[in-house]
Structure 1
Amino acid sequence: MFGTVIDLSRNILRGLVLAGIVLCFSVPAYADLFPLGHTSDVSAFSEEHIQLLAPSDTGSRPALIYEGGDLFLGVGDLYEGFETPWGAVWQPQLWVFGTMRSAVQMFENAGSNSTASEWANRLDLYANVQLTGTEKFIVGIRPLDRNEPSKFSRVAFNDNRGSGQSEFNLNIRTMFFEGDLGSLFPGLDPEGIKPIDYGFSVGRQLLQFQEGIMLNDEVDSIGIVRNNIHLPGIPSLRTSVVWGWNDLGRSDAGRDNTTNMFGLFNSADMQDLSWNLDMVYVSDSVDGGDSYHLGLSSIQRIGHYNTAFRVNASSAETASAKAGTGVLYSAEVSLTPQKSDDVAYLNTFVADGNFTQVGREPVVGGPLGALGILFASPSLGNFGSELISFANDVAGFALGYQAFWNHHRTSLTLETAGRKDLSGDRFDDIAFGFEFRQRLAQRIQLQVDSHYTVQEKRGNGYGLRTEILYQF
């Protein structure tokens, strides 16, 4: 066994050396191919006077489903509002908006449920009661799904997950109120000199930290944030304290009302970098559910490269399906080719042990979804991520290129990604895929995805999906 591993390592090393030699000699030949997207010369500021366009010349404003009060991004006089008994001036508006997604998709994953094809639909609908620039109340529903991969309103063509189904419901997925204490109660500080400008939010809301690697879930919670804290050597620090008491999605994909989540989240902007330090404790009334979580990240520019380095750790008091113990190390490096908006990127990761998130939506997938399109789930129907997105004793990468044309109305992302099992108990996989997006109209986008996966000791997988997204 050991000899086989040595031989395999030698073959990989030889392949990398050969690929490097070929690449070095072929760079001049392929240099004219990059950037792939639209290019333009970087121009200096014009010395000519350029008249601002009148509002009527800037194009039509896309109206929302319903706009009560002042129009969203409208022009003209504002409604003067009224003064509340506690001194705040409210200018109520009601804005109703949403996103409709409809996709025809098929996939073969060499599992018991392959091959599968379906037409799946998802509707995200929101009502926003805007009181001031900082105070608002938001309610959101997803009437065509129940937040599980197999529970979307869909028509199955040739899979064994059942025929067509309707999952119509009016379950509230989002409902929270947010504001600022100083703005909500201006009478407490009429001169504006007291340190009472604390932001707050309470209700069922999306919590997303460390780009979703640490936490990516809608939780019943209350949070308090203090912005622009000045400390020696730190010009701007933002600190948030969050308590979540219900509907936390653990790693077993179940919704949990037996847990309490306590989090301290910090974000600072320095002269040369930005860093985040996040800490969470989850207390579960059921044995085996308690866990501790830590996230640390540094985001900076090194020369011409944008970089982000992250360390996320989880520690479970008792290993279970809800929580595990492990550390996920990840590095993200990207470059924008000259004279373009294209992005070339390389993301790598290593998971030591079984790293688990604080919470995740069942349709979102695991923590690796933030590191590449082949690890990300579309969150629509049974079509999951092309590669397994959970971090349990695994190393891997995502290498890709995103190109833009037509003033960003057209984009194409090409990516190859792979996973290497470090435990010796599972499999290695590598995948190739693309994601094409085209704006069809002011509110409509076409997206086409496809991938091919080479899976060790299993049949290879593939998939194709076409989606129409309509924003209103």
Structure 2
Amino acid sequence: MKLPAHFKFTIRLAICVAPLILGQSASGASSSKSRFSDEPAPMDTEGYPDRPKLLIEWGDDFLGTGNLQKGIRLPTGAVWSPNFWVFGEFRSALQTFDPGNNPRRTEWANRLDLFANLELSPTERVLVGFRPLDRNGRFTGYTFEPASGRGGDEDFTENSLVPRTFFFEGEFGEIFPLIDASDSANYDYGFSIGRQPFSLQDGLLINDDALDMIGITRNALLPRGGAHYRITGFFAANEVDRNNNSPDNDALVFGLSTFFDYPKSTIEADAIYVNSGDANGFYAGIGGIQRIGKISTTFRINQSVALDDESPQVATGTLLFSEASYSPAYTHDNIYANAFLGIDNFSSAVRGPVAGGPLGRIGILFAAVGLGNYGAPLSNRPNRAVGGAVGYQKFFGDLRRRQIVFEAGAFQPTNERDTAAQGLGVRFQQAFGKHSILVLDVFGALRQESRESFGGRAELRVKF
């Protein structure tokens, strides 16, 4: 078909002018203030501190940048890149605690946690830890009150050189990758063996920082309708401390722990059997962690059953526990309300010497500080009682290096006991430099059938 002459002229003109128009458009776009630059911009780190170094770093830096070292290939097919890091924390506190119905205790207490971590790969490591300044709830320091106990406390002995932590952990499929080179058989079995910290149900069922045990975990399972399922079987013997925070040299602990991750909730379910002469016990717990609207919540039900006569080590009872927290808009603050109900005499399966009772997660008025003889302002034992705490945690500054917590709490027995109490507590924390934190605590409580209770403490925590 023959095109008209004027139409041919229009096409030729468009072909000639189009590059000029597109070039001007591109030039305008490149100079536009709203256009993203083609040049990479460096990370803006102004105002942020440099990476704090550990006490010893051999191999790759902990959380450092740059190229990783070349690994060592083992006959099993695994590639290990050893790194050795030494780190820890020193805690020192001046504190006074007046329970109202017993003599006031004023002291200077110290604690040192020192760890050596040999990382062989991201999944395999050996961790050794020492606590040379305390043993079985006794801490190095000085007692000022009561006068009958005045004097220095020196708890550094030959036993201080015994590791409080010493375990190896790894994953079978990563240590022996040649068994399943295509990674299709799912040999995702993690394991740990040795003396290690262990906690179940947020510390309600088990809370111990040094338990001789072995555990085997099956990872990467897919539950129906869920994203992840994990199951762990474990056995513990030696260094077993029972519900009364005292050692039980005859105790053997057998347990099964499961974890289910669903779209709207994370479920934890655990079962434990403790064999120990006439102090046998069975324990079970289930908990759900989820968000309800804008509120983060946790609900737990835990049960203990004494298979023989009840004792301070084991008793029969139920603990209902709930946590709820909310962050107000445009802040990093935290508002929380936690509560519990103890039916009969619930007891934990394992509790370490400085772990206190199972109600420590209720709030700062119920928690053990893990240093010296400074007790919990309100009882952290849930036996036949109901109570809770509400609080506000306020952060200050762009880097949130300063915070303060205000809390009110109550403990009310459900029987005829005269141990009801209400209290107010405040905790202030301030970071200094890269390694130090100052912690200030103060509380006041009113106890039934006794005079007022009060206390305060100033603690310096140095992390290295």
- Specify the TM-score bucket, using the shorter chain as the normaliser: 0.7 to 0.9
- For the pair 1:79 / 2:69, whether they are aligned, the reply is yes
Deviation at 1:251, TM superposition (A): 1.5
- The 2-side partners of 1:209 and 1:420 are apart by 26
- The 2-side partners of 1:229 and 1:376 are apart by 35
1:104 to 76, 94, 99: 94
- The 2-side partners of 1:172 and 1:64 are apart by 20
Mapping 1:19-418, distance limit 5 Å? 51-53=41-43, 59-112=49-102, 114-148=103-137, 151-159=138-146, 160-168=148-156, 169-217=160-208, 218-284=210-276, 286-287=277-278, 289-317=279-307, 318-406=309-397, 407-418=399-410
* Percent identity of equivalent pairs: 37
CA gap of 1:425–1:95, structure 2 versus 1, over 3 A, is: same
Secondary structure of residue in 1 paired with 2:384? strand
- The 2-side partners of 1:399 and 1:78 are apart by 47
- The 2-side partners of 1:236 and 1:418 are apart by 38
Deviation at 1:173, TM superposition (A): 0.7
CA gap of 1:57–1:390, structure 2 versus 1, over 3 A, is: closer
Secondary structure of residue in 1 paired with 2:360? helix
Secondary structure of residue in 1 paired with 2:192? strand
Contact 2:173 2:187 in 1 (8 A): yes
Corresponding residue pairs, total: 422
Which range moved further: 57-66 or 174-183? 57-66
Mapping 1:419-458, distance limit 5 Å? 419-458=411-450
Deviation at 1:111, TM superposition (A): 3.3
The one-character-per-residue Cα deviations of 1:22-78 (angstroms, maximum 9, x if unpaired) are: xxxxxxxxxxxxxxxxxxxxxxxx986682328999642211111112221222332
Q: After TM superposition, what 4+ stretches of structure 1 lie above 4 angstroms from structure 2?
A: 46-50, 54-59
Q: Which amino acid is 2:349 matched to?
A: V
Q: Which amino acid is 1:401 matched to?
A: Y
- The 2-side partners of 1:224 and 1:61 are apart by 34
- The 2-side partners of 1:244 and 1:458 are apart by 41
- The 1-side partners of 2:426 and 2:44 are apart by 40
Query: Residue 15 of structure 2 aligns with which residue?
Result: none
Q: Which amino acid is 1:155 matched to?
A: Y
- The 2-side partners of 1:303 and 1:374 are apart by 28
Structure 2 unmatched runs, 5+: 1-33
- The 1-side partners of 2:280 and 2:126 are apart by 32
Deviation at 1:115, TM superposition (A): 1.7
- The 2-side partners of 1:51 and 1:140 are apart by 42
State the TM-score, normalized to the length of structure 2.
0.88
- The 2-side partners of 1:203 and 1:408 are apart by 37
Contact 2:97 2:375 in 1 (8 A): no
Deviation at 1:324, TM superposition (A): 0.7
Backbone CA RMSD of aligned residues: 1.7
Q: Which amino acid is 1:466 matched to?
A: A
CA gap of 1:444–1:394, structure 2 versus 1, over 3 A, is: same
- The 2-side partners of 1:398 and 1:433 are apart by 10
